Amino acid sequence: MEILRKYSFARAPETVASPKPSTGLTMTPKGGVLLKIIPRT
């Protein structure tokens, strides 16, 4: 159960942080630089 919890916890923030910053950064002029970091991570 510990492995499942770690996998879920590590996967949850990635999915939630992907669409959120992507949309916000796209509107911001600095989005270009941040957008490159999001897909790389």
Per-residue pLDDT at 1: 45
Instruction: Domain count for the chain, please give it.
Output: 1
Structural domain of 7: 2-40
Q: Token pair for residue 38? A: 């999001």
Classified as helix, coil or strand, 28 is coil
Collect all residues with Cβ–Cβ distance below 8 Å to 14 and sequence separation of at least 6: 41
Summarised one tens digit per residue, pLDDT across range 2-34 is 554 555 555 555 555 555 544 444 555 555 555
Residue 22 in contact with residue 39, Cβ under 8 Å?
no
Collect all residues with Cβ–Cβ distance below 8 Å to 22 and sequence separation of at least 6: 35, 38
- The structure's pTM equals 0.15
